[in-house]
Structures are given as structure tokens and as C-alpha cells.
Chain A
Amino acid sequence: MLLRHTPKEIKERKALMINPAKTCQPIGAMYASLGIKGCLPHSHGSQGCCSYHRSTLTRHYKEPISAATSSFTEGASVFGGQANLLQAINNIFTVYEPEVIAVHTTCLSETIGDDLPQIFAKAIREKTVPEGKTVLGAGTPSYVGSHVTGFSNMVKAMAALAKEPVKKNGKINLIPGWVEPSDMEELKRLAALVGAKINMFPDTSGVLDGPLNGKYTMYPDGGTPIADIKDSGNAIGTLALGEWCSADAARLLDTKCKVPCSILDMPFGLKATDRFIDALRIVAGRSVPEEISVERGKLVDMISDMHQYFYGKKVALVGDPDQLIAMTEFLVSIDMCPIHIITGTPGKKFEKRIKEITKDMGREVNVKAKGDMFLLHQWMKNEPVDLLIGNTYCKYIARDEDVPFVRWGFPILDRQGHQHFPTVGYKGGLRLLEKILGVLLDRKDRDDPEEVFELVL
């Protein structure tokens, strides 16, 4: 047993976090920055953070993740990191020639109180930032929120680049939230099918799912051009997917540029995708093509075909709030029972929302924001489940408790496909069901006695 020191008996912990269901802000900011075309993310802190964040993203994507760092020394940590950042900006533009540098901070530079806008102003004044190039920044203190907060903060910093509105561009800003490159690709496909003109940011498709062809470009063709981000103030409206990931940016565009916004759930599963498509058609003033209705029908068809294997199955879930909300709704909608739900990210609304979604399930749900996987494991020991859905770290629990396990969320360090095959939209729903059925039926095939072992399921 790998986690044999985890006791069944639950004692309240006030200070000790064990096996977190979150990580820290800057990695989210780094991921978001990679969704800007020609952008080099920059970590303003000591270099360990930057190495860790790059490594984790690389392990998740099996793709190169470039990012620079201010490489604080003890001196800079005491007297401020301005000189480090100015040097870094100069070195980056000279050596690596990005269009954009997106700076985020760490607990180090936040604790000492470095003032990013002031340093940027100095860099621009001293012409360290070449003509036509952009430097943007977000404060991402690691001791507030989680990686999701960092993502949100960087997306908000992108929205802050929006120019004063001049003339409506007829586009809808689509803020996709922290989803995979494959999901962003799928959102663009759906929007194109509906005929909605969108301006999506950030967009990591084409950046973190690149080909192998003997060439390496630090700045692949993907990513949202900075001009499009600046143009977001001229949009007719903003659809923001996920309260935790995307709402701050959308609200900023509303207050700053009077671009009205709707905050939607992330389109995982049937109902959330329904609401997304419906919203898209209404704001774009288009009718939904038959093709999308057929995709939807296929998902409903699969739910009905395989319903016997879903019905009443207990599920434990761990991940990030926006994703979990949509996933919980999806599972409930196919008559599964998500009974233990944990996110490491704080936010009172989360527990409320989950309780609302599960209120007709006919039983109480264990749900906790700011929880950890140690607690989730303890819950599972007290009431076992039929399925566990979460990131790679769950595999230790899955093995110990011998529970079928679907990898979903961030990070996935030990399996491939997540950047190539979407889990959003109706097609993504089909893939999620395929994965869930796969592990449930593999288990059935493994456990059924020989005399009832079945060919056809």
C-alpha cells in the first residue's frame, strides 16, 4: 500500500495540508501566457519557481515550455528585484526576440513588494522594450488562491490591454478558461459551425500540441495575437467560461470598455454544452446548424445506450472548481452519483454550487473547497466509490483502494492524448463517456467470474 499511513478516521486539520488538490498561482499565469502569440512568459522571482513550473507543464504536455526568470539572489530579495527585471527584459528581447513578454510574480517578489507597472514604465522609458513590442504583467502571489487564480489573474491582465472602444468589431470575446489546447480548438470549431465570429484569448492550441518536423520554433503559429487582445474592447460581448478562470477578465472588459458579458459554466458534458451553444447562437444572432444538433444527439444516444453502466454508480472527484462544477452536473445528468468532491482552490461559491447541482440526487454529498487529496482518500475509505476522476496524483489512491480511475484535469503526467483530443463540447462528452465506460467495463471484465464472463456488453 502506497498511502498506508492514511487513517480511515478523520481528524480535523487546521494547519497541515497533505497531498494538495491545487498548486500555486504562477504556473497558471505561465500557462495563460503561452496562449498569446509570440509570447515568452517571465517569472519575476527566484529561478526555482520558473524551473518547477516549466517542468510540470512539460511533463503534462510532452512539449517544450519556454519561460524566463529574474533569477533573484539574496541581495535582490532584500533590496528589490527591479534591476533583475530590467536586465531580464533587455536580455530576452535581444536574445529570444519575442513579440510579447508576459511577467508574473511569485511569493518572493510579492512579499518584498516589487511594483511591476513602475518597472515596466522605466523599461519603456529607457527603450529596453523595443518599438512595437509589448510587456504585460500580473501579480500572482502564491499565498493567495491557487494555480487557477494565477491563470485568472494573467487573463485579466490581458483584458487590461484592451484599448478604449472605438467601433464595434462584430466579434464575441470568448474566454475559454483553463482548458486543454484540444478543448480550445474544439471551442473554435463549434463557434465556426454556429457562424459566430469570435476573438478567443488565451488560446494554446497550435502552441502546446505542435508537430515534430525537425524544426524548433520558440513561438509557434498558435496563440492569440496581441492586436486581437487589444481589440477585445471593441467586441459586441464577452462569453466567459468558468467563474474562477475567466470571470474577472470579462468583468474588467465590461467596466473598462462597456463590453457586456455572460459568465457560463465550462462546456463539459451535455447541459453545460447546451447552454454554451445556446448563448453563442443568441449573442451571434445565428441559428444552430443541424450538424451540431446531430453531434448532440450522438451524445444523448450514447448515454441511453450505456445507461445501465452509469446508473447509481458512486464517483469521487477532485480538480479545479470550474471543471468540477460542469463535471458534477454531467455525472448527475447521466444518473451517476458524485459523492465525494474536493477542490484545493478556495471559494465559498463552490460548495454552494455543487450542493445545488446534487440536491435531487437523494443523498448528502461530501464537498469541500480548500480541501486536499488526503481528505478525499479518507472519505473514500469511509464510503467507497465505483470510480475516481482526477489528475495523475490520484493514481496512488486508485491503486491502494483498487478503484477504476479516469485521468482528467491538471496535471496529467503519465498518459497522453489530453492535448490532442477534447473533453469539452458534445464530442468531448462522447470522449469522456468512452473513458469512463472503458475503466468501468475493464473492471467488470477483470472481476466477473469466468462462468458469467461476457463477450457482448
Chain B
Amino acid sequence: MGKAQKLVQWDPHNIKEKLLEKYPPKVARKRAKQIMINEALENTTPEIVANVRTIPGIITMRGCTYAGCKGVIMGPTSDVVNLVHGPIGCSFYAWLTRRNQTDGINEGMENYIPYCMSTDMQDSDIIFGGEKKLQAAIQEAYDIFKPKAIAIFATCPVGLIGDDIHAVAKKMKEKFGDCNVFAFSCEGYKGVSQSAGHHIANNQIFTHVVGDTKTEHTEKYKINLLGEYNIGGDGFEIDRILKKCGITNISTFSGNATYDKFAVAGQADLSCVMCHRSINYVADMLETKYGIPWIKINFIGAEATAKSLRKIAKYFDEQELIDRVEEVIAEEMPAVKNAITEVYPRTKGKTAMLFVGGSRAHHYQELFLELGMKTLSAGYEFGHRDDYEGRHVIPNLKVDADSRNIEEIEVEADPVLYRPRKTPEEMAALEKAGVDFKEYEGLNPMMEENTMVVDDLNQYEAEKLVELLKPDLFCAGIKEKFSIQKLGVPMKQLHSYDSGGPYAGFVGAVNFYNEIDRLVNSKVWSYMKAPWQENPELSATYAWE
């Protein structure tokens, strides 16, 4: 692993050609549209094809709809019993494997996160149907745990054999009276990735939970934090900062969430969207039904955090809050500055690649900018075109055959609860002042010209990119980690954070700087060759004195 090998300056078009040359013609044609060279064009960004079916046999990084629904959106919620209707695997693999932290750890609070519950379908359930077993399992869960809610998740065979999980849920909800039971048709084969599962989860949470509360929030500056899952304590750090600023986060979807925190979302003054991909549906529905506007924010990166806080303060437009936010930024920044001053000389000029789910491949570029590192290539597993190119392309998006059956629900303004948070004049003034509502500019504008954006990266392309571009750091998930590291390139997991974190907010930025410094400067990468491999020629024999 000599740095001296890193001479070749590749033309991105050459690299794209290299990536495609081994493919069968049909595959090459398809992949060509999902690999984009970020070029500045007249007023437009180049198009990319995304959210399309995975090529069989290509060794994708993607997961399924169930993972997007149960694993991502519902998994972090502590006081809802998540019951998986299917054979045992789906529930087993989603058991504590995403690092959603919760503070629901105190006696008297409900916390079902360490439990894995399943109907463990057997062949007889496949043959004769599993509704009876599901009903019995719901009853048993209710009898043992007495939870306030039970969520049911469908897996692949459930849809095929025709179990009506929604009817069972409804029946049991009526029977119990004090326990909300609702179901998610998130069979793994739906859509083309985790993304469909997000959508399904959004719809059902909005339909069955949002609004079901007696809690009333009367605090000043109430926000919802949408699309933040408290991996490695990110949400804790964001909440710490918000609280310090005097902003009340009444509802996080769904890091450290509880049933009631979902339920009160309709009472916020503003929704702040962190992960656009997974939760933009809820953001839109909250606006339509309750009149809550939403803005895109990003708490990954110290500068991005400061910028997001200022954006929120600007929205509320009160000097007291604006001043407080500036005070907090001024208090937090010195520690950040100290940390970056320390590591910057060792990280500056290094290069990275980021291939993460549906939002982090964008957000983390803020941190790499702060470290003086260049992102050579990035992409999502399951982003849609709007996550790459910005929401302005949404009117042009066509839903293809593979995603057509994902339910779209119609939401209307609530006759009682709908209340515009700002007058149209106020909204216009805010927009003029630079607060973009309902807007997300996507990943592409963040990246330099001639970098490569690759959708649904696969194992072959990952290896090729590393071989050709020789980055100093590769970011993706557990499945990619060890093959990349075998190549002698440090690999940072940006799903699980390699058991580290938090990386959000100011404290998170410092953690991340130190972690990246550790990775790109670790001594281990210099041990790839043994002394006898470095100099295999035996030029002299050892002479004992």
C-alpha cells in the first residue's frame, strides 16, 4: 500500500467505461444509466436512473421493504410491541442489529426493543393460512406485556397466501379496547428496496397513530424532527442542542420514539426533515392535514448543525430565539474548532467514497469537507431521483411497474385541527429571506464536478472503484466493510458507525473527526506486506557472529 502508486489521474468517463466493460450488454446498458458523472451543465444537473429494480445476481447492497418498514421506521420505538408475522428469520435478523438507542430504560417505562417477537410460521400455516396463529400471538403478547400498542408486520409469504393482517389487527384492537393494534403490509418483495417499506410505514403511522393522544404541547418553538433514528445516540445529541437553544422537539420520527411522541406530531409549529428519503411522506401529510410547514435540515457536520439551527430560528422569527441560537453556537464551536485544528493537518487532502442507504451519502460530505477531504464518488442504495437531483424533479418522476402497487394515501386538511402556522405573506417573506420550504436540493449539487454518482452500487463496482481511484477511506455498510479492508483501504460503516457515535451535532462532529483521523492514519495499513515480501530477493545469508 504505497502512496506512490497513487499517480493515475483517471478521466471519469474512462472509469465509467471500466466499470461497465465486464457486464453482459443488457446489464451494461442498464447500469450506464445509474452511473452518472457529475458535470455542470447549463442550468440543469444530469439525470440519473434510480429506484428501479435490482439486477438479479449482481450482488447488490440493498435490503427489502420489511427492513425499511420494521427495521428502520418502527424498530426504534420503545413502547410498541413489534410482532412479525412470518417465518422466524425476518424478526431474528432485525433483532437489535440497528443501533437505535432509547432512554426508555427506566423502571416503569415500557421498552420492548430488546425483545424479538414473531409468529414463527410453520408449513401448516403456509398451507392453511396463518391468521388464527397471528390472532393467538397478538392475544399472548397482550396478556404478557399489556402494551399500549401492537404493530404487525407482514413478510414475504403473508401476501402470497392471502392472510388479511389488517382485519385481524382491527378485530383485536376492538376486542382489547385499551391497546391499539395496527398492521403493515410490508412484504419483502414489494417495491425494489427498503424504500417501499418507508412509505408503507409512513402511511400506517400517520393513519393509526398520529393524533391519537391526550397530551397537549403548549411550549414555545415546537418542532418535529423527522427522519432521525438515534443511531449511536445521534438523536440524544441533537435533542441536547435543541433544548439548550430553547427549541422543543415534541416528536422524533422515530429515534428514541414512543407511541405518544408519534401521536403528538400534529401539534408542532414546524417539521424539520433530516432523512428526506424515509420520512418526506409524513412531512407532506402533516402539512396537508395540520398545516405544519416543513424544512430540510441537517445536523451532520458542525457547520451544517449551526446552519440548521439558524434556519429554524429564522422560521420562528423572534429575536430571543435567534440570539439564543447564536449563543449556543458560540458556546459549542470552540471545542469543535480545537478538535479540527488538531486533526486537520492529518486528514486534509485525503479522499473518500460514500455509499450509504438514502441520505447519509449526502449528509456526511459536510463532515468530510470540514476535514478537508474530497468525496470522489458517492451514491445511495435506494434513493429516488429527488434525493440525487432535488425535489424539483418530482413532477417528472414516473412510477414504474415494480413500485406501482405501493399504496398512496389521500390526506385532507383536518376540519378542526388544520391551522396554517404562518400566513401566506409570512411564508412568502420567509422564502424571500432564504428559508426554503418543502425543498431538498439533493446530493448531486453537493459534489464537485467530475465526481461519480452511482446508484445501487454493487460488489463488483465497489471493488473496481477502489482499485481505480484508490481512495483513502471508503464508507458503506457491514457487508462491504471487510472486502474493502482486505484491499488495504480503511472502511467506515456509516450505518452502524462501527459501534461508535454519536456523529450528529457538535459533539458528534468531534467524535467523527477523531474517528476518521484514527482510520486514515492507523498504523495497521502499513503492515500489508511482511519484510520477506517487501524484499523477496535473497541477496545475502545471515552471518552469525
Contacts and interface: CB of A to CB of B under 8 A. Distances in A.
Interface of A: 1-5, 7, 11, 13-20, 22-27, 42, 45-49, 51-56, 58-59, 62-77, 84-85, 87-92, 94-96, 106-108, 111-112, 141-144, 146, 210, 212-216, 218, 344, 374, 393, 396
A91 B156 contact: no
A15 B160 contact: no
A85 to B, nearest CB: 7
Given A16-B140, A215-B486, A396-B114, 20 more contacts: A5-B145, A15-B137, A15-B139, A16-B83, A16-B118, A16-B141, A22-B88, A22-B92, A48-B64, A55-B93, A68-B57, A68-B58, A70-B57, A74-B405, A77-B159, A87-B55, A108-B160, A142-B86, A142-B87, A213-B529
Given A23-B93, A48-B66, A64-B486, A3 B114 contact: yes
Given A71-B55, A108-B188, A51 B136 contact: no
Given A51-B479, A66-B459, A90-B24, A23 B488 contact: no
B107 interface: yes
A50 B273 CA distance: 31
Contacts of A3: 114-115
A55 B91 CA distance: 14
Nearest to B62: A47
B189 A76 contact: yes
A95 B22 contact: yes
Given A65-B479, A70-B56, A74-B402, A5 B110 contact: yes
Given A24-B89, A396-B114, A14 B136 contact: yes
Interface residues of B, number: 94
Contacts, number: 265
Contacts of B116: 18-20
Nearest to A109: B156
Contacts of A92: 57
A59 B482 CA distance: 10
B189 A74 contact: yes
Contacts of A26: 89
Contact of B56 (A15, A19, A22, A69): A69
Interface in B175-201: 187-192
B121 interface: yes
A20 B120 contact: yes
A49 B60 contact: no
A87 to B, nearest CB: 5
Given A5-B145, A112-B160, A396-B114, A49 B89 contact: yes
B57 A55 contact: no
Interface in B65-79: 65-67
Q: Which 8 A-B pairs have the closest CB atoms?
A: A48-B64, A88-B57, A24-B89, A214-B528, A15-B136, A52-B93, A64-B483, A88-B56
Interface string B514-545: 00000000001001110000000000000000
Nearest to B89: A24
A89 B57 contact: yes
Interface stretch (B10-18, B122-130, B288-296): B122-130
A143 B157 contact: yes
A141 B127 CA distance: 13
A90 B22 CA distance: 12
Nearest to A9: B144
Contact of A143 (B62, B123, B159, B527): B123
A410 to B, nearest CB: 11
Given A55-B93, A63-B482, A77-B156, A18 B133 contact: no
Nearest to B116: A19
Contact of A212 (B22, B96, B112, B528): B528
B156 to A, nearest CB: 4
B61 interface: yes
Interface centre among A3, A108, A144 (most CB of B within 10 A): A108
B157 A111 contact: yes
Contacts of B136: 14-16
A118 to B, nearest CB: 17
Given A52-B63, A52-B93, A95-B460, A14 B56 contact: no
B119 A15 contact: yes
B58 A95 contact: yes
A135 to B, nearest CB: 12
Nearest to A220: B486
A214 B488 contact: yes
A48 B67 contact: yes
